[in-house]
């Protein structure tokens, strides 16, 4: 049986005499659904209690029930595994580095992977390995993969021909091995296999599987007969994961049991000179994977999960690391010196001042909480049934595969038919595509290319037309289900940014961030924007700032326009500018504004999928001639990318005079650091009265003051601490006078006003081809409240949806194009309900998806029928309400249940405003 519970007290290890001789045991007390029990952990599992703490989750597989002196208890058996905090997903590569040295694991996590040649070469060789397994031509694969790494190689000043030769030597080992007869007709292969273990709390991606056995590629040399220990551990992890999965798929079925052999391929061995090197030069080394090794893997994984339970920091004493030979020794000593951490290697340098260290610790804990929240989200993959996930918008299920095709870029394009259901999955997302069972079946990471594409085949059923979902993957999979793929990448990015800011950052910057210094400004007299004083002042401040400036831009006040003007002015002064924002959309909007103002000397960094069509010509492809690509990037006076890309290997090599960050109020503090770390000065643009940063672990964080509050942006903090560094744009170019009135009064102290008389007086009748009279009288006002009784469902309201559909028809009949109309609903379920009810072409979405955009006509569905409903997302935060009410230019229609809304004072005033002109 499997035992699962929460540790009440860990207990201690002791040694007892048994009929098998002396044995260690420990007896932690755990609480399960059935009560409290003591669990006897025998042998090596007894070590677990050394790091077990009360409150941790503990799982014992294949436990047996015991009875001693009338007390019921449990004990491990020969088959048991003991798993600590199974919900914390440890990466296979982390298990590997922990075995090398726990400090190494920590340092890797903190500082990210830097751009260096061994890393880039390693990636290329891995890619070529996959290509060769898939039967690609040797030289063609090398040429292609080296070209693909063009930008990184260029930044490293590497000559492509020399790289090709280097890769060729490594690839020969692979090719030689494949053709040596190791691979015969019965062998079945697959490369890059994603594995997730629910049972052990481990995830990873195996380089390859041969007959269901793991094969790992290492680009280093190894002249011993045996693989290196950490490498074995890595392969053993995959074996463990494969065992749980019970084989891979029919075609790759192992002979039954667990994979018992691992193979390591040391590709550099073939490049060694036989006359100089002694030892075993064969690249492929096999080893047998026994039970003892698998248990060791689980115990190592447990040590990591236990340390992460309270964001602990490893010292290096946990293993028998040998610091003398470690190439990370200096870094390790510096980090421990600066952060005053215990380290086996010792410390050098002076510790950060108390306040900085405290900031580091609090932020570190907050980021690790985010990571755990991502892991919890991950666990829902197996905790929830397919149906529950679909209902929670976390999966699209019941897809019907509708074709697969190998594209020119080597990726598979998979299609499936679906019913148009909504989910959190969006185009451009990375999601988990599976054959219906993402955990025990076959799953592949997929990029969502299209949602709701026209089916290829012309058959269209009556009523709702079927739609296609199109994704791309490295390997084909029967596309029957698509799941949200929670990632802890953003946690990793924040951690690296924190590290760079605190351990590598300039002193002055830190003084500013920690309130020990105030920002300073030069004087600038030039006029930049003659028709808008606040915008002009904002540009002046951006230029005059010696440290930083803050631009506060309420809805429609020309933030983007001002940003573009400021960038031009900076470039004219010879400054190199990094333009960044939370979303790709905002980055592209700012570039569009720049090009509207006649400036196009910029480079857009981002993926092909992330960058908008019209900005593709400016996108820096990472594939191509190294020297040319590197020059293009290095010489660009303006480089634009999202803040998360600012932490990429490539961008971390770049430096700028000024970083200009849009949507800064939606960024957590460490996410903002990722961008501003790259520049001497910075300008943050945002509005803290619109959407705040999205923080997954928000609920638990607020109470604990040892954990930083990530939901407060750096923008907001600095505006509070240094109001003088900020300029508020007050004149808006979007909304009719009456639409903006409520927001101005409630959220901006009445300061927001229309920029011109035309803006203020705009009416729906101004749109081309529309006569205001064609609308029913009730809809002619620019702000309208429609009382609707609504139904009783929790997150949907069919009646409201039907009423909205009707109102939309009135606007369309009067001549308004569907594309000029938007509907905002608080819940995705209601978004789905409304989408089904109304005609095509009208944008229906949640507030979060509408931030940053506007429409001529906006209808808001409140989905509140009883006062208790006033706790939904649109309502829990005034900032979301503000966004919802400020998207419309000419006509805003609020649909809701008056009696319910009037219970809350803020909503009562909304209803009031919308009812009485
Ligand atoms: N000084 C100005 N003179 C004339 N038009 C302007 C000026 N500033 C902004 N605009 C116009 O006002 C409109 C809104 O500006 P912009 O898109 O920059 O607003 P924004 O604040 O970025 O909007 P959002 O709140 O959606 O982020 C644009 O059409 C822009 O060209």
Is the Cβ atom of 556 under 6 angstroms away from ligand 1? yes
686 in helix, strand or coil?
A: strand
288 assigned to some structural domain: no
Q: Is 79 in the same domain as 134?
A: no
Is the Cβ atom of 535 under 6 angstroms away from ligand 1? yes
Kindly report the protein residue whose alpha carbon is nearest to atom 1 of ligand 1: 532
Cβ burial of 617 (10 Å; 0-12, 13-18, 19+) is: exposed
Which tokens sit at 654? 């770049």
Which tokens sit at 596? 């509207």
Is the Cβ atom of 686 under 6 angstroms away from ligand 1? no
Percent pLDDT > 90 in the chain is 65
**The model's pTM:** 0.91
What distance in angstroms lies between residue 558's CA and the mean position of ligand 1's atoms? 3
Is the Cβ atom of 555 under 6 angstroms away from ligand 1? yes
Is the Cβ atom of 561 under 6 angstroms away from ligand 1? yes
Parallel, antiparallel or unpaired: strands 13-18 and 602-604: unpaired
Is the Cβ atom of 852 under 6 angstroms away from ligand 1? yes
Among residues 751, 743, 692, 747, which one has the least CA distance to residue 727? 751
Evaluated on CA atoms 572, 575, 576, 581, the torsion sign reads negative
Residue to mutate (ligand 1; options 533, 539, 560, 566; most atoms within 8 A of CB): 560
841 assigned to some structural domain: yes
What distance in angstroms lies between residue 556's CA and the mean position of ligand 1's atoms? 6
605 assigned to some structural domain: yes
What distance in angstroms lies between residue 746's CA and the mean position of ligand 1's atoms? 22
Residues 6 or more apart whose Cβ sits within 8 Å of residue 309: 53, 55, 56, 85, 88
Which tokens sit at 242? 């494969």
Parallel, antiparallel or unpaired: strands 213-218 and 261-266: parallel
Q: Is 567 in the same domain as 716?
A: yes
Least confident range of 141-150, 182-191, 488-497: 182-191
Separation of alpha carbons 723 and 844, rounded Å: 37
Q: Is 547 in the same domain as 634?
A: yes
Q: Is 63 in the same domain as 120?
A: no
Query: Of all atoms in ligand 1, which is nearest to the CA of residue 553?
Result: 21
807 in helix, strand or coil?
A: helix
CB 314 within 8 A of CB 307: yes
* CATH number of domain containing 836: 3.40.50.300
What distance in angstroms lies between residue 851's CA and the mean position of ligand 1's atoms? 15
604 in helix, strand or coil?
A: strand
pLDDT category at 463 given cuts 50, 70, 90 is very low
Q: Is 820 in the same domain as 879?
A: yes
Separation of alpha carbons 468 and 417, rounded Å: 5
Q: Which domain-ending residue is among 158, 185, 212?
A: 185
The confidence score (pLDDT) of residue 796 equals 76
Q: Is 9 in the same domain as 154?
A: no
Res 454 pLDDT > 90: no
Q: Is 584 in the same domain as 544?
A: yes
**In which residue are the tokens 């008389």 written?**
757
Q: Which domain-ending residue is among 140, 168, 185?
A: 185
Backbone angles phi, psi at 799, to 5 degrees: -65, -45
527 assigned to some structural domain: yes
Q: Is 898 in the same domain as 812?
A: yes
Q: Is 766 in the same domain as 639?
A: no
Compute the average pLDDT of residues 620-625.
94
CB atoms closer than 10 angstroms to residue 66: 14
Res 456 pLDDT > 60: no
What distance in angstroms lies between residue 755's CA and the mean position of ligand 1's atoms? 10
Q: Is 583 in the same domain as 722?
A: yes
506 assigned to some structural domain: no
The confidence score (pLDDT) of residue 458 equals 42
What distance in angstroms lies between residue 529's CA and the mean position of ligand 1's atoms? 12
Separation of alpha carbons 359 and 821, rounded Å: 46
Is the Cβ atom of 531 under 6 angstroms away from ligand 1? yes
Is the Cβ atom of 733 under 6 angstroms away from ligand 1? yes
Res 251 pLDDT > 50: no
Is the Cβ atom of 553 under 6 angstroms away from ligand 1? yes
The confidence score (pLDDT) of residue 611 equals 92
CB atoms closer than 10 angstroms to residue 786: 18
Q: Is 445 in the same domain as 539?
A: no
CB 784 within 8 A of CB 888: no
Is the Cβ atom of 529 under 6 angstroms away from ligand 1? yes
**In which residue are the tokens 């997954």 written?**
696
Which tokens sit at 192? 């890059």
How many distinct structural domains can be found in the chain?
5
What distance in angstroms lies between residue 852's CA and the mean position of ligand 1's atoms? 11
674 assigned to some structural domain: yes
Distances (CA, A) of 483 to 187, 377, 381, 389, 439: 31, 11, 8, 8, 11
The confidence score (pLDDT) of residue 869 equals 59
Give, in degrees to the nearest 5, the angle at Cα 811 between 806 and 813.
90
The confidence score (pLDDT) of residue 474 equals 83
- Winning range, highest mean pLDDT, from 8-12, 428-432, 896-900: 8-12
User: Residues 22-44: pLDDT tens digits?
Assistant: 999 999 999 999 999 999 999 99
What distance in angstroms lies between residue 534's CA and the mean position of ligand 1's atoms? 13
* CATH number of domain containing 393: 2.40.30.270
Query: Of all atoms in ligand 1, which is nearest to the CA of residue 529?
Result: 1
Q: Which domain-ending residue is among 694, 729, 764?
A: 729
Kindly report the protein residue whose alpha carbon is nearest to atom 18 of ligand 1: 558
Q: Of 737 and 796, which is predicted with more confidence?
A: 737
Q: Is 163 in the same domain as 37?
A: no
Q: Of 704 and 689, which is predicted with more confidence?
A: 689
CB 44 within 8 A of CB 27: no
Compute the average pLDDT of residues 341-364.
92
User: Residues 280-326: pLDDT tens digits?
Assistant: 888 889 999 999 999 999 999 999 999 999 889 999 988 877 898 89
User: Residues 560-572: pLDDT tens digits?
Assistant: 999 999 999 999 9
Kindly report the protein residue whose alpha carbon is nearest to atom 16 of ligand 1: 558
332 assigned to some structural domain: no
* CATH number of domain containing 76: 2.40.50.140
What distance in angstroms lies between residue 630's CA and the mean position of ligand 1's atoms? 34
Separation of alpha carbons 796 and 791, rounded Å: 8
CB 435 within 8 A of CB 446: no
Is the Cβ atom of 666 under 6 angstroms away from ligand 1? no
Is the Cβ atom of 557 under 6 angstroms away from ligand 1? yes
Residue 528 domain boundaries: 519-729
Separation of alpha carbons 539 and 529, rounded Å: 8
pLDDT category at 792 given cuts 50, 70, 90 is low
Report the chain's C-alpha Rg in angstroms.
30
246 assigned to some structural domain: no
Is the Cβ atom of 644 under 6 angstroms away from ligand 1? no
Is the Cβ atom of 558 under 6 angstroms away from ligand 1? yes
* DSSP line for 312-345: ----STTTT--GGG-TTHHHHHHHHHHTT---TT
């Amino acid at each position: 049986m499997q035992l699962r519970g929460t540790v009440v007290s860990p207990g201690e290890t002791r040694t007892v005499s048994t009929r098998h001789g002396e044995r260690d045991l420990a007896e932690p007390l755990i609480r399960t659904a059935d009560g409290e029990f003591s669990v006897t952990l025998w042998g090596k599992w007894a070590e677990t209690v050394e790091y077990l703490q009360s409150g941790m989750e503990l799982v014992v597989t294949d436990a047996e029930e015991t009875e001693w002196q009338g007390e019921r208890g449990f004990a491990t058996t020969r088959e048991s595994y003991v798993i600590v905090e199974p919900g914390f997903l440890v990466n296979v590569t982390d298990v590997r580095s922990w075995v090398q040295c726990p400090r190494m694991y920590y340092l890797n996590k903190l500082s990210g992977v830097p751009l260096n040649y061994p890393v880039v070469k390693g990636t290329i060789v891995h890619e070529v390995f996959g290509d060769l397994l898939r039967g690609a031509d040797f030289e063609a694969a090398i040429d292609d993969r080296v070209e693909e790494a063009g930008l990184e190689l260029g930044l490293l000043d590497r000559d492509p021909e020399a790289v090709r030769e280097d890769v060729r030597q490594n690839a020969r080992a692979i090719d030689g091995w494949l053709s040596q007869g190791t691979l015969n007709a019965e062998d079945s292969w697959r490369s890059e296999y994603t594995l997730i273990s629910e049972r052990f709390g481990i995830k990873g991606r195996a380089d390859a599987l041969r007959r269901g056995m793991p094969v790992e590629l290492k680009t280093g040399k190894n002249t011993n007969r045996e693989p290196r220990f950490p490498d074995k551990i890595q392969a053993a992890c995959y074996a463990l994961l494969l065992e749980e999965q019970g084989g891979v798929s029919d075609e790759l079925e192992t002979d039954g049991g667990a994979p018992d052999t691992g193979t390591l391929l040391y590709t550099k061995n073939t490049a060694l000179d036989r006359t100089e090197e002694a030892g075993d030069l064969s690249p492929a080394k096999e080893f047998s994977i026994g039970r003892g090794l698998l248990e060791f893997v689980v115990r190592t994984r447990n040590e990591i999960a236990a340390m992460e339970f309270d964001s602990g920091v490893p010292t290096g004493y946990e293993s028998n690391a040998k610091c003398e030979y470690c190439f990370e020794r200096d870094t390790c000593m510096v980090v421990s010196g600066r952060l005053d951490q215990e380290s086996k290697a010792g410390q050098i340098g002076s510790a950060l001042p108390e306040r900085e260290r405290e900031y580091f610790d609090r932020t570190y804990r907050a980021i690790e909480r985010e990571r755990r929240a991502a892991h919890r989200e991950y666990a829902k993959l197996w905790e929830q049934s397919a149906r529950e996930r679909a209902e929670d918008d976390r999966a699209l299920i019941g897809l019907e595969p509708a074709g697969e095709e190998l594209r020119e870029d080597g990726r598979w394009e998979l299609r499936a038919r679906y019913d148009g259901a909504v989910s959190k999955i969006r185009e451009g997302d990375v999601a988990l595509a599976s054959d219906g069972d993402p955990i025990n079946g076959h799953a592949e990471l997929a990029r969502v290319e299209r949602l709701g594409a026209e089916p290829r085949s012309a058959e269209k059923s009556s009523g709702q037309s079927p739609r296609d979902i199109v994704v791309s993957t490295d390997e084909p999979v029967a596309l029957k289900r698509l799941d949200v793929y929670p990632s802890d990448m953003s946690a990793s990015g924040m951690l690296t940014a924190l590290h760079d800011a605190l351990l590598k950052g300039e002193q002055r910057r830190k003084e500013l961030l920690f309130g020990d210094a105030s920002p300073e400004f030069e004087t600038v007299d030039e006029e930049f924007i003659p028709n808008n004083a606040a915008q002009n002042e904002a540009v002046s401040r951006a230029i005059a700032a010696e440290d930083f400036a803050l631009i506060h831009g309420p809805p429609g006040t020309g933030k983007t326009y001002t940003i573009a003007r400021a960038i031009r002015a900076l470039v004219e002064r010879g400054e190199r500018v990094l333009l960044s924002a939370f979303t790709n959309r905002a980055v592209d909007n700012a570039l569009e504004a720049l090009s509207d103002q006649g400036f196009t000397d910029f480079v857009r960094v981002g993926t092909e999928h992330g960058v908008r069509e019209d900005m593709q010509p400016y996108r820096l492809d990472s594939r191509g001639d190294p020297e040319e690509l590197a020059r293009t990037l290095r010489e660009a006076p303006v480089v634009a990318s999202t803040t998360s890309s600012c932490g990429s290997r490539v961008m971390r090599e770049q430096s700028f005079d000024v970083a200009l960050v849009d949507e800064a109020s939606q960024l957590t503090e460490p996410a903002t650091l990722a961008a501003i770390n790259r520049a001497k000065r910075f300008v943050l643009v945002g509005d803290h009265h619109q959407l705040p940063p999205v923080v997954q672990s928000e609920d638990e964080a607020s109470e604990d003051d040892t954990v930083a509050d990530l939901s407060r942006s750096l923008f907001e903090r600095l505006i509070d601490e240094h109001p003088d560094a900020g300029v508020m744009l007050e004149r808006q170019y979007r909304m009719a006078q009456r639409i903006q009135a409520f927001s101005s009064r409630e959220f901006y102290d009445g300061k927001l006003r229309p920029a011109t008389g035309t803006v203020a007086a705009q009416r729906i009748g101004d749109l081309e081809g529309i006569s205001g009279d064609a609308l029913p009288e009730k809809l002619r006002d620019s702000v309208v409240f429609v009382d609707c009784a609504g139904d009783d469902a929790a997150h949907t309201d069919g009646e409201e949806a039907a009423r909205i559909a009707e109102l939309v028809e009135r606007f369309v009949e009067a001549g308004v194009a569907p594309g000029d109309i938007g509907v905002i609903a608080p819940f995705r379920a209601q978004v789905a309900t409304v989408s089904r009810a109304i005609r095509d072409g009208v944008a229906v979405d949640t507030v979060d998806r509408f931030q940053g955009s506007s429409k001529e006509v906006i209808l808001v569905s409140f989905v509140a029928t009883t006062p208790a409903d006033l706790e939904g997302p649109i309502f829990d935060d005034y900032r979301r309400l503000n966004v919802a009410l400020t998207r419309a230019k000419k006509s805003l229609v609020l649909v809701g249940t008056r009696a319910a809304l009037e219970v809350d004072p803020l909503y009562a005033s909304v209803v009031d405003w919308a009812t009485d002109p």
